[in-house]
Amino acid sequence: MKIAGKSVTEMRIEQGLSMRQLAERAGLSAGTVSQAERRGAISADSAKRIADVLGVHPMDLVDVPETPPASGLEAFFASQHDLAENALEALKGAEQAAMDGEPEYLMTFIRLATSSIRGISDAMGEAIEVERGNTS
């Protein structure tokens, strides 16, 4: 799952937590928190744990990429790939939340997956229109 690492760092610092303190409270390794903050790469379960400690919803941590401007086919496909990965991670989070009996987090992850899939669908629809020459 892609998260906004800078946001995690800012929230952690605002709450006066060191990286190690956040990791301990979330039941994660300091390396996991460091990776989340530096690269924005984290599992849905780890995102939920960090969000719990920071007192926010996991969706507040998620970096949902916007469809890029028409700057190239490669950028377009990269953004669609990121959205698809976010959707898959959100579905994994939903599955875990269902197994843990946490309906609030289940719905949060389902909304995230829905948002990512809707972004893919919208962007693909726009791409089809551009390909057909129906730009407006």
Instruction: Provide the terminal-to-terminal Cα distance of the chain, rounded to the nearest Å.
Output: 34
Domain positions in the chain are 1-63, 65-136
CA dist 136 and 125 (Å) reads 13
pTM of the model: 0.53
Average pLDDT of the segment spanning 93-121:
85
The mean pLDDT value of the chain amounts to: 82
Q: Is there a contact between 92 and 80 (Cβ–Cβ < 8 Å)?
A: no
83 pLDDT more than 90? no
Q: In CATH, which superfamily holds the domain spanning 1-63?
A: lambda repressor-like DNA-binding domains (1.10.260.40)
| pLDDT tens-digit series, residues 40-50 | 777 878 888 89
Main-chain phi, psi angles of 28, to 5 degrees: -120, 170
Helix (H, G, I), strand (E, B) or coil at 62: strand
